[in-house]
Homo-oligomer: A and B are copies of this chain.
Amino acid sequence: MPPPPAARAKVLRAFAELLVESGERAATLEAVADRAGVSKGGLLYHFPSKDALVDGVLDHLSALTSADVETMRAAPEGAADYLLRTSTVIDGEFGVVYLAVSRLAQGPYPRARDVLDEAQAAWTQTVREELGDPVLSRAVSLMGEGLYALASFGATGLGDREIDDLLVLVRDVAAARATTARPRA
């Protein structure tokens, strides 16, 4: 097949960035077109309506999530480590698109909620395969979600040091819970 038009990808990226940086309200067709470097008419050629544009990012996140879960599963540092560290990265492609969809999920787009729900379930499941303990896995997954939430409104974010500390805690607890009788060897 012929290479997909570059304009399409640029429009999707611009839409996601605007949603994250300035919110749903600011992500108008005109603003998206401007940032993508096309005209409003040009945008509407690729995405005939705003709903079509929304569907575009939703599909994009679905694809990215599948790839992300594979990477997470294969990560040498482990799934929990991978999850918490990437949950503070909101300027990578995945972070931007994930946060963009979590903004859409607040509006009248029920499918956005479904896509997020699936991502959340896949992460929790993958962490659980690694840690074994379901409660601890849920805790890690919740922390990841909390990190995204904080980062998304530019709160006084956590640095690498703080994430390191959390991961040490998680590993200690995992070890303690694995050896049932006498924790911490």
Contacts and interface: CB of A to CB of B under 8 A. Distances in A.
Which of A24, A143, A146, A147: most chain B Cβ within 10 A?
A: A146
A20 to B, nearest CB: 8
A106 B23 contact: yes
A139 interface: yes
Name A's interface SS: helix
Q: Size band of the A side of the interface?
A: 35 or more
Nearest to A121: B156
Interface of A: 22-26, 102-103, 105-108, 112-113, 116-117, 120-121, 135-136, 138-139, 141-150, 152-156, 158, 162, 165-166, 168-169, 173, 176, 183-184
